[in-house]
Amino acid sequence: MAIYLDHAATTPLRPELIEGYLAQLQVLGNPSSVHGAGQRARMAVEDARDQVAKAVDCHRSEVLFTSGGTESNNLAIKGLYLAAKAQDSERNVVITAGTEHHAGIDPVEWLETSEGAEAVWLPVSPTGVIDLAWLDTYLSKNAQRVALISLMWVNNETGLITPVSKVTEIANRYEIPVHSDAVAAFGHIPISFKDSGLKTMAISGHKFGAPVGVGAVIVARDAKVAVTSHGGGQERGIRSGTLSSPLAYALGKAAALAAEELPEIRNRVSEFAQDISRGILEIAPDAIFTRGEEPGYEGIIHFTFPGCSGDSLLYLLDAAGVCVSTGSACRAGVAQPSHVLMAMGRTEDQARGSLRISLGQSTTRADVDALLAAFPMAYAGAHRAGLPGN
């Protein structure tokens, strides 16, 4: 059986919710129907809404179910922008960073080409830290033109944590809404939507033990969000479409478990991560820990290996039965260096020499031992092969 260390891509379905999820699949009824069958399905949805709200620390009415993180980011980013632009045609600037996931970057670029937006890219340090002083200065001169700011809470490739409350503190001085892609954050670090100052936030179930295909966009009650998904008017009219009560049940249960178990899981993951980092540096002393000393989620361990191809490392580890990645699963198979590392100022060769190991609630000591046992041979082989074209 393969050793799975790619939890930032997706996590195993939590065994605690499987029985209830299968039972919900057999419940007949559209949650929008008024008859008894429909209301039984609706009850499962609303119970799940309560669980998600408690887990992310928001009001239950702020939880809107979606198909996952990509849809949530699109609804929020496009909705905030179009609402701001409708209120004031001069507000066409979207501030974001080149280190964002493509689910955050691509909607911004679509707004540029289709809706007259201007993307302003925050400067980031070589470890990926956004320049808050630059943001403050920019807003002091251009706030009247800014429609929104969109920044992810935890970087899915490097694990770097964005100081969300500091961003919103600056933005709120100018009444600029802030959206955060919290897909890599929720279930892994403590988060509170209520205390964050955010107007919208995205989460995705399969990153914390729910099935693929369900997530939520958290929309503050006072947020102005234009409707971009039209239909039956479900989910406050912001996200139309028949709700899946089984998927909502699974999201709620997984969110509740993730929040409840977070301290214990994070402590265990942190211990494993330290052992992995120490072991890798003993084998490859010239390896560079990508986020340096900056605050990050411990379960994402990202290194670059000078003169070594990350793809070669991945394939050789996979041949040894260990599943890791070189970055975002959404870009896997694309023959391009990581856009995240390139935005951090890495060269193409440096960006191609990266490896991401990501841990989760199902990671065991045996998984860590298997990785460290397989790594020396994989590294030796990848180092001999070098970089393509060199």
Q: Catalytic site residues?
A: 330
Name the region of 142 (left: φ>0; alpha: ψ -120 to 50; beta: rest): alpha
160: which 2 tokens?
């770097």
Residues 6+ apart with CB under 8 A from 142: 93
Expressed in angstroms, the distance from the first to the final Cα of the chain is: 35
Q: Decide: 247 and 227 in contact? Cβ < 8 Å.
A: no
The DSSP letter of residue 13 is P
What's the chain's length in residues? 390
What are the residues facing 122 on neighbouring strands?
A: 97
Label residue 291 exposed, middle or buried (CB < 10 Å: 0-12, 13-18, 19+): buried
Task: Write down the residue that tokens 């799940």 correspond to.
Answer: 48
355: which 2 tokens?
């490896």
Alpha-carbon distance of 92 to 353, in angstroms, equals 37
Rounded to 10 degrees, the C-alpha dihedral 13/105/130/144 comes to -130
Task: Write down the residue that tokens 């969109």 correspond to.
Answer: 150
Alpha-carbon distance of 40 to 47, in angstroms, equals 11
Alpha-carbon distance of 263 to 37, in angstroms, equals 39
What are the residues facing 303 on neighbouring strands?
A: 289, 355
Distance of CA 165 to the CA centre of its chain: 17
Q: Decide: 257 and 17 in contact? Cβ < 8 Å.
A: yes
The DSSP letter of residue 327 is S
Q: Decide: 149 and 176 in contact? Cβ < 8 Å.
A: yes
Label residue 140 exposed, middle or buried (CB < 10 Å: 0-12, 13-18, 19+): exposed
